[in-house]
Chains A and B, each alone.
Chain A
Amino acid sequence: MPKSVIIDPRQVCQPGWLELGRIPLNQYVPDFERERQHFGDAGLRRIYRDMVLIREFETMLHQIKTQGGYGGMACQHQGPAHLSIGQEAAVVGQCAALEIDDLVYGSHRSHGEILAKCFAALVKLDETRLLEVMRDYDGGVCLRMVEQDPHSSVHDLAVSFALYGTLAEILGRASGFNRGLGGSMHAFFAPFGSMPNNAIVGGSADIAVGAALFKRIHRRPGIVIANIGDGSLGCGPVWEAIMLASMEQYRRLWDPDGGGAPPVLFNILNNFYGMGGQTAGETMGFEILARAGAGVNPHNLHAERVNGCNPLAVAEATQRQRHRLLAGMGPALLDVVTYRFSGHSPSDTSSYRTREEMDLWREVDGIRAYGDYLEKHGLLSAAEREQWQREAAERLGRVLRRAASLETAPRVEPESIGRVMFSGGRGLAVAQGTPEVLIPLAENPRVKSLQEKARFAFDADGRPLPKSKVLSLRDALFEALIERFYADPTLVAWGEENRDWGGAFGVYRGLTESLPYHRLFNTPISEGAIVGAAVGYALSGGRVVAEIMYCDFLGRAGDEVFNQMAKWQAMSAGLLRLPLVLRVSIGSKYGAQHSQDWSSWVAHVPGLKAMYPVTPYDAKGMLRQALLGSDPVVFFESQKIYDLGESFVAGGVPRQPYEVPEGEPVVRRSGRDLTIITLGPTLYKALEAADCLAQRYQVSAEVIDLRFLNPLNYEPLVESVRKTGRVVLASDACERGSFLNDVAANLTQLAFDDLDAPPAVVGARNWITPPAEMESAFYPQAEWIIDTIHERLLPLPGHQVTTDRSLGELARRARQGV
């Protein structure tokens, strides 16, 4: 309990000096005999060969991009190719220190990392196992392409396999490692520990922390590396990731037998330029990147600078950090000094650096220097160096021939992309085992207290019960969650104030008593890392519920939600699953930055499921629905109604688990004359409007609660609109760009001939949210709905409008931008 850690003013106000400790810079000292003993002759020679192969691979891509072919073979490639020519030693050296279980997440410039990790991993497997991996991968499509050429051994074949799978992926072919759907910047090959590479600068940092948390929580072997660039030190989510990875609670509060901090290495491939901005001299102030470690924790993240032009220096440093991480002493940081001779991309003319600088680095080119080192010690001859260079070019020529032709290596059928957007799995996540809990479910204090509560908001005579006696929406969410926590061993939850406090809105109250720290913990105020780490945890095979306290903070996790959570299932061509539920609470009364319904953003981005329950029955059934699936779900909740009891489903909220069918809107009240479709708590305003329409104007309104944004079944909506001929749609989202406009447009298409008027959307004003006392001027009210019906659908005899819902006003607001 953090309550046990007393913050004592006498202590924190003590005068003194903070000693930062020393950070080693390039302390590697060559010791050939020791290295020979460690890596063996073959290992040392392989490091050279791998570097040569990677450089030739990147050179080939450069020629394809700039000359339209390689080695006499024509090949066109329109997509990206961020080459790492010059950085080979940094990645081959790293992988020389790694096992297959060690996972490497990378960046947009990671072709070399994929190849280096694959080359290093494949020698650790025997022929049978190696062949099995290649055969099993995506039905053996990739293997069938390479095995058409003769190879001297299974391991030799596997080298071509890695080159081919990566190249075909870059060229967007169905036989690529990710069926061409990831491409150059997202390719990976998980069986060898090469994990998703990320086109967003620094994007791998928080994902890697999540993957490390998975290893830590489930006691899996190996470490996780985030290969990110020096430019990414300017990215907020990278710092968030570092903060999340270095939380004191791992050492102080978590189970001491658990293994310490998550084993993650922030490996900064420091080539001194973030695209064209010089990080050390121009765009940042750290001077020496390794200094960044000093800002994080007492051991400076074990930061050190290492010469990335020497593979053996990198291997030694990586190994040192790996031992620390496996001992639970992480996280760690390496400032790996390197240099890319190639431009950022083929269009880069290197206008930001001098020829003189580039020449200086060419003189210390890692491949040549390391070749000389081996030659000096008699491990490699000049003739061999020439021969290996020639063989690399020949091998790549063969690999390209199998990948370049669209006849033999076609792209995927476009419609197949639709089939990998969601994985659609049901049931438990991959990790088996017994869920770790602290007490039996029946002894949980909140479970016990909920036993006493009424499950329906009204008594037998239809009179409302006091709120304190009724199971509320927040209780219903708790019931769904705790049931899964006792059933699903991989399920964990994290976010701000999740433990002890019980979540800012009391949904998690009672979970602390049942769950050990590693299944429920507080994070720093780092929305980006909260979601990014959840992505990493989920794609490692776990299930996670992450929380964004206010929908307004979604912007802080924008990249993680819209680029990471939404995309990885499809960018992996369905190889990855993402069982991740992101609870997002929509506020009110707290002004402009705490009261916004941003569900429309989420609905707009492909790859996310989105739901928004507003009754306790739905809250429990839909959360279970989300927690049993294998897809990323953004689960919206409204702070306006956490204390509401169930008032629709007779019999109230069932005690036993149940699911609400995915994508199905629900008719809350049936009617004849018009349809009101709502999303979110506006349902209750719509019911008020429906009462008024019936009493004052004898108009019978059907009220439908959308519940789901995506996927969404339009059939019940169309059926209702066909019947009534009129539809108004309302939600708390600002009207411009509201998802309801999408629903309205689709209903116009689907039921045009049955419409008596065009569908009308009622949203919140396109303003900031005003003070709590003025919210009725901002969020849709029952009267707005009736006025809209009167003005745009069906003039109501004798109705006096109180708001201007005319078309002229609609046009005026649009013109004014409000």
Chain B
Amino acid sequence: MPTPVILPRQGNTVESCVIVRWLKPVGTEVRAGEPLVEIETDKAAMEVESPATGVVIELLFPEGANVEVLQPIAWIGALGEKPAPPDASPAPPAGTESPLPLAPSEPKLALPSVPSSQRRLPAISPRAARLASALAVNLDQVTGTGPQGRIIERDVQAALAQRTPGGRTIPAATPALVKAEEPARPLKGEAESATAPNRSAAPDFPGPKREVPLTSTRRVIAERMRQSLDQTAQVTLHAAADISGMVLLRHRLNAERQAAGREKYRVNDFVLLAVSRVLPEFPALNAHGLADRVLEFESAHLGMAVDTPRGLLAPVIRFAERLEFEALATEARRLANACRDGTVHPEELQGGTFTVTNLGSLGIETFTPILNAPEVAILGVGGIQYRPHPDQPAPPVPHLLFSLTFDHRVLDGAAGARFLRRLAEVLAKIDVLLAGPRSESETSQ
């Protein structure tokens, strides 16, 4: 009896997933627990494991298909076995439309075979083909001079030179070789023309282009960003905080950590710490702005913007105000890594009450972040700026630049300003926050 592979629901709000890649084609053996398919939700990529040991007897969806969760996507059985009749498979959840399985008689996932008559003759090397594509050289006119008449790199370069009699703008990988083919042209002059920018030599307008389909992550980001700007009234405040103490402290701590072979603390770890401690004092900023009401949260669930190959993600450090510094930094690092390598759980990307986004490490001074709706505030962390010390002639003092975007529908400028001022105070004395055991500071209050 064949076993269906059910597309799991990865997180409470995930309704569908994209089949990214089948790892086991039809007819291959698979063991229970072995990864069968890569899928992607709008938040993360993951693998689905085979529920049974056997042979893949049918794959129900092609790669790229968007499939609703909790329905069969493949069948595992014995070799030669037929998939169970449709009524034997678990019914799809009510109200969802069952996607049409591809007809089983079709070789669904086989590579398209190219009839030999259509194959391009003569051959072209992969390197030459790539160069031709990048420079938009029409290969119909090119004569191959490689072995067996293969079009090789120098042929594409020669064709390009012909098309643009004024000279070649593309730096040649093998100028000497081209010269050997065209003995009339002196090497020296060619080398000069190769380095001089020459507009007339530009390829056909608009030049080569590439079509990049939006990933599902990108589509979600696009929609959220647009919605955020449409539905809220965003204002950004800028401020700077003296971090001279923090710089020294971080330097000292990291020297110890490095000696112990542990990962260094980043500036952002200190910012997250300060925000997590300050935020509970400002419940109006630690809130969700809904259509008819505001939800203020007691705990700080800190969203943290992470740049990943699939686009921007904002994993959430839950109950950040309760985490000791080390735990907070470790969690931040774990989540960032999980986002980057695609193993972050969808649940970990939800439930934020306030977001911190840092572009300072990429060399940005200040910027105006967009709210991660329905959150009502987001803190942008910019670069470090050295400002003259108030008591001249002491050396300049490092300041960290902040931008706080808030939703003016539910908050006013003063609230945001007070938050920034308090954040700057705490950061300036971050060593106190780190040194004093929390119980002591509580009893002294």
Query: Which positions in A face B, CB cutoff 8 Å?
Result: 672-673, 697-700, 723-725, 752-757, 791-797, 807
1/0 per residue, CB under 8 A from A, across B394-420: the answer is 000000000000000000000000000
Bound together, the chains give a CA A296 to CA B150 distance in angstroms of: 68
1/0 per residue, CB under 8 A from A, across B327-346: the answer is 00000000000000000000
Q: Is the CB of A698 within 8 A of B127?
A: no
Q: Is the CB of B179 within 8 A of A698?
A: yes
Bound together, the chains give a CA A792 to CA B125 distance in angstroms of: 12
Q: Is the CB of A795 within 8 A of B145?
A: yes
Q: Is the CB of A698 within 8 A of B152?
A: no
Q: Is the CB of B147 within 8 A of A699?
A: no
Selected from B146, B176, B177, the residue in CB contact (under 8 A) with A757 is B146
A–B Cβ pairs within 8 angstroms, 6 of them? A673-B176, A725-B125, A725-B153, A753-B126, A756-B128, A793-B147
Bound together, the chains give a CA A698 to CA B176 distance in angstroms of: 6
Residue of B nearest to A673 (CB): B174
Q: Is the CB of B126 within 8 A of A697?
A: no
Q: Is the CB of A672 within 8 A of B173?
A: yes
Q: Is the CB of B152 within 8 A of A794?
A: yes
Closest 8 CB pairs of A and B: A698-B176, A756-B127, A756-B125, A725-B127, A797-B180, A756-B153, A753-B126, A756-B152
**Is B322 close to A, CB under 8 A?**
no
Bound together, the chains give a CA A723 to CA B174 distance in angstroms of: 11
1/0 per residue, CB under 8 A from A, across B108-130: the answer is 00000000000000000111101
- On chain A, the residues within 8 Å of B127 by CB distance are 725, 753-756
Bound together, the chains give a CA A753 to CA B173 distance in angstroms of: 16
Q: Is the CB of B180 within 8 A of A757?
A: no
Q: Is the CB of A698 within 8 A of B177?
A: yes
- On chain B, the residues within 8 Å of A795 by CB distance are 145-147
Selected from A700, A754, A757, the residue in CB contact (under 8 A) with B152 is A757
Residue of A nearest to B176 (CB): A698
Bound together, the chains give a CA A247 to CA B145 distance in angstroms of: 67
**Is B431 close to A, CB under 8 A?**
no
- On chain B, the residues within 8 Å of A699 by CB distance are 174, 176-177
B202 CB to closest chain A CB, in angstroms? 24
Q: Is the CB of A725 within 8 A of B173?
A: yes
Residue of B nearest to A798 (CB): B180
Q: Is the CB of B147 within 8 A of A792?
A: yes
Q: Is the CB of A757 within 8 A of B125?
A: yes
Residue of B nearest to A753 (CB): B126
Bound together, the chains give a CA A162 to CA B249 distance in angstroms of: 58
Q: Is the CB of A797 within 8 A of B147?
A: no
Q: Is the CB of B176 within 8 A of A753?
A: no
- On chain A, the residues within 8 Å of B180 by CB distance are 697-698, 796-797
> Given the known A-B contacts A672-B174, A725-B153, are A755 and B125 also in contact in the complex, defined by CB atoms under 8 Å?
yes
**Is B324 close to A, CB under 8 A?**
no
> Given the known A-B contacts A725-B127, A795-B145, are A757 and B150 also in contact in the complex, defined by CB atoms under 8 Å?
yes
1/0 per residue, CB under 8 A from A, across B128-165: the answer is 10100000000000000111101011100000000000
- On chain B, the residues within 8 Å of A697 by CB distance are 176, 180
> Given the known A-B contacts A725-B127, A794-B152, A797-B180, are A757 and B147 also in contact in the complex, defined by CB atoms under 8 Å?
yes
- On chain A, the residues within 8 Å of B146 by CB distance are 756-757, 793-795
**Is B181 close to A, CB under 8 A?**
yes
Number of interface residues, chain B, beta carbon within 8 A: 20
B184 CB to closest chain A CB, in angstroms? 13
Interface residues of A, dominant DSSP:
loop
> Given the known A-B contacts A755-B125, A756-B125, A757-B146, are A700 and B173 also in contact in the complex, defined by CB atoms under 8 Å?
no
Query: Which positions in B face A, CB cutoff 8 Å?
Result: 125-128, 130, 145-148, 150, 152-154, 173-174, 176-177, 179-181
Bound together, the chains give a CA A75 to CA B146 distance in angstroms of: 63
Selected from B147, B154, B177, the residue in CB contact (under 8 A) with A791 is B147
Bound together, the chains give a CA A723 to CA B171 distance in angstroms of: 13
Bound together, the chains give a CA A362 to CA B150 distance in angstroms of: 78
- On chain B, the residues within 8 Å of A753 by CB distance are 126-127, 130
B133 CB to closest chain A CB, in angstroms? 11
Bound together, the chains give a CA A791 to CA B145 distance in angstroms of: 11
Known: A753-B126, A755-B126, A793-B147. 18 other contacts (CB 8 A): A672-B173, A698-B176, A699-B174, A699-B177, A700-B176, A725-B127, A725-B173, A752-B126, A755-B125, A756-B125, A756-B126, A756-B128, A756-B146, A756-B152, A756-B153, A795-B146, A795-B147, A807-B148
B171 CB to closest chain A CB, in angstroms? 11
B5 CB to closest chain A CB, in angstroms? 22
Q: Is the CB of B177 within 8 A of A794?
A: yes
Bound together, the chains give a CA A791 to CA B147 distance in angstroms of: 6
- On chain A, the residues within 8 Å of B174 by CB distance are 672-673, 699
B55 CB to closest chain A CB, in angstroms? 19
Bound together, the chains give a CA A791 to CA B150 distance in angstroms of: 12
Bound together, the chains give a CA A700 to CA B174 distance in angstroms of: 9
- On chain A, the residues within 8 Å of B173 by CB distance are 672-673, 723-725
B122 CB to closest chain A CB, in angstroms? 13
Bound together, the chains give a CA A794 to CA B150 distance in angstroms of: 10
Bound together, the chains give a CA A793 to CA B154 distance in angstroms of: 12
Bound together, the chains give a CA A699 to CA B150 distance in angstroms of: 19
A717 CB to closest chain B CB, in angstroms? 16
- On chain B, the residues within 8 Å of A723 by CB distance are 173
Bound together, the chains give a CA A797 to CA B146 distance in angstroms of: 11
B289 CB to closest chain A CB, in angstroms? 50
A341 CB to closest chain B CB, in angstroms? 39
A759 CB to closest chain B CB, in angstroms? 12
- On chain B, the residues within 8 Å of A672 by CB distance are 173-174
Bound together, the chains give a CA A697 to CA B177 distance in angstroms of: 8
A676 CB to closest chain B CB, in angstroms? 15
Bound together, the chains give a CA A309 to CA B289 distance in angstroms of: 92
B47 CB to closest chain A CB, in angstroms? 16
Bound together, the chains give a CA A681 to CA B180 distance in angstroms of: 31
Selected from A700, A752, A797, the residue in CB contact (under 8 A) with B181 is A797
Bound together, the chains give a CA A793 to CA B126 distance in angstroms of: 13
Bound together, the chains give a CA A755 to CA B128 distance in angstroms of: 8
- On chain A, the residues within 8 Å of B179 by CB distance are 698
Q: Is the CB of B177 within 8 A of A754?
A: no
Bound together, the chains give a CA A17 to CA B383 distance in angstroms of: 100
Residue of A nearest to B148 (CB): A807
Residue of A nearest to B153 (CB): A756
Bound together, the chains give a CA A793 to CA B128 distance in angstroms of: 13
Bound together, the chains give a CA A753 to CA B128 distance in angstroms of: 9
Residue of A nearest to B145 (CB): A795
Bound together, the chains give a CA A542 to CA B128 distance in angstroms of: 55
Bound together, the chains give a CA A441 to CA B390 distance in angstroms of: 68
- On chain A, the residues within 8 Å of B147 by CB distance are 757, 791-793, 795, 807
Residue of A nearest to B187 (CB): A698
Bound together, the chains give a CA A807 to CA B146 distance in angstroms of: 13
- On chain A, the residues within 8 Å of B128 by CB distance are 756
B249 CB to closest chain A CB, in angstroms? 37
- On chain B, the residues within 8 Å of A754 by CB distance are 126-127, 130
A229 CB to closest chain B CB, in angstroms? 39
Residue of B nearest to A724 (CB): B173
- On chain B, the residues within 8 Å of A755 by CB distance are 125-127
Bound together, the chains give a CA A7 to CA B181 distance in angstroms of: 74
Bound together, the chains give a CA A700 to CA B176 distance in angstroms of: 9
Bound together, the chains give a CA A724 to CA B177 distance in angstroms of: 12
- On chain B, the residues within 8 Å of A791 by CB distance are 147
Bound together, the chains give a CA A740 to CA B128 distance in angstroms of: 25
A380 CB to closest chain B CB, in angstroms? 51
Bound together, the chains give a CA A756 to CA B128 distance in angstroms of: 6
Bound together, the chains give a CA A792 to CA B146 distance in angstroms of: 8
Bound together, the chains give a CA A697 to CA B178 distance in angstroms of: 11
Bound together, the chains give a CA A699 to CA B177 distance in angstroms of: 7
A278 CB to closest chain B CB, in angstroms? 45
Bound together, the chains give a CA A799 to CA B126 distance in angstroms of: 25
A571 CB to closest chain B CB, in angstroms? 24
- On chain A, the residues within 8 Å of B150 by CB distance are 757
- On chain A, the residues within 8 Å of B154 by CB distance are 794
Residue of B nearest to A748 (CB): B126
A750 CB to closest chain B CB, in angstroms? 12
Bound together, the chains give a CA A166 to CA B150 distance in angstroms of: 62
